[in-house]
Copies of this chain bind each other. A is one copy, B any other.
């Protein structure tokens, strides 16, 4: 005379309890794997659970425990292989520790990032890994301290924030690469990045919202300055017109009468665009144009010439950020860590002396 439960609506602990002839509390104990229960009851409850095809509602569980076992990851663009690799290593570590990852793309746009962070916080994520698009806009991240939501900054620091951060030694790497150009005899250099301008600072310097790019520019310029390269021969090319895109900036750069003989590309996408445009213009590489790129993208080994790159330890960075986040979630209260990872250049064929 029992009511056959064939409805699609979900089976709850109460249902299992009823079927197993125990109280809701007891059923919950065995299904939730906490408290203490007798062997006999455990078997009975598990049998009922299987019979009814019980599935725990993790939302309800998170509700009461306050732990969602979910992490928000906010990156610039998952299509970018740099972030692709990062997200992969992050999710691997987190999944292995029982966390899930909600992914958000900021498109390197601060407003999008802020909204994403807010939504994720609303979803009660236990923590966030963010590659902040703008080092000058930090309110949305500062707020997280008030809530109990751990944060790790990935690839980009925010000087004003005392929070776990993993970056690579961008300035050093850029300086080294630039010095390599100069040592090879180059005197007209350019640094190219897809980052858009963020206005000017008080001292007249460009404000570069993306902190990693800012540091790379610092390194590039300091090496140029040290070698006595004139300002007009140490160009920094930003994505000045987001409508036209970076391609336009690169066109302009390569089409100018006295174009640089060596370019440092801020990421592999920029490098690829430079490569394409150089080929289109029959600019012989490396003889007419030397190139070094940040990020050892898979294709850089296969072009002619192969591309000398600055190899970022992307996976390691991702792993570190995930592991550090877990430590925080588990309650670690040690002072915020600023982890700087060393990059190394991989010398290939795209650098030579200017002809």
Cα–Cα distance between A8 and B88 once the two chains are bound (Å): 32
A84: interface (CB < 8 Å): yes
Q: Which of B56, B84, B92, B303 contacts A302 (CB 8 A)?
A: B303
Cα–Cα distance between A91 and B185 once the two chains are bound (Å): 47
A68: interface (CB < 8 Å): yes
User: A59-B62, A91-B104, A95-B104 are known contacts. Are A79 and B78 too (CB-CB below 8 A)?
Assistant: no
User: A79-B84, A81-B84, A85-B79 are known contacts. Are A124 and B302 too (CB-CB below 8 A)?
Assistant: no
List CB contacts (< 8 Å) of A72-111 with chain B.
77-79, 81, 84-85, 87-88, 91-92, 95, 100-105
- Report yes or no: B103 in contact with A101, Cβ–Cβ below 8 A: yes
- Chain B hits for A244, CB < 8 A: none
Cα–Cα distance between A84 and B146 once the two chains are bound (Å): 34
- Report yes or no: B147 in contact with A119, Cβ–Cβ below 8 A: no
Determine how many copies of this chain the complex contains.
2
- Report yes or no: B123 in contact with A8, Cβ–Cβ below 8 A: no
Kindly specify which of A131-139, A190-198, A271-279 makes contact with the partner chain: A271-279
Chain B residue at minimal CB-CB distance from A57: B124
- Report yes or no: B70 in contact with A78, Cβ–Cβ below 8 A: no
What mask results when residues 111 to 140 of chain A are scored 1 for a CB within 8 Å of chain B, else 0?
A: 000000011111110000000000000000
A202: interface (CB < 8 Å): no
Cα–Cα distance between A105 and B68 once the two chains are bound (Å): 20
A36: interface (CB < 8 Å): no
- Chain B hits for A201, CB < 8 A: none
- Chain B hits for A119, CB < 8 A: 58, 100
A148: interface (CB < 8 Å): yes
What mask results when residues 273 to 311 of chain A are scored 1 for a CB within 8 Å of chain B, else 0?
A: 001100100000000000000000111011110000000
Q: Knowing that A58-B123, A100-B123 are A-B contacts, what are 8 other residue pairs whose CB atoms are under 8 Å apart, sorted by A's residue number?
A: A58-B119, A59-B63, A60-B63, A63-B63, A84-B84, A92-B105, A100-B120, A275-B302
7 closest A-B pairs by beta carbon, nearest first, are A299-B299, A58-B122, A304-B304, A103-B103, A79-B88, A84-B84, A59-B124
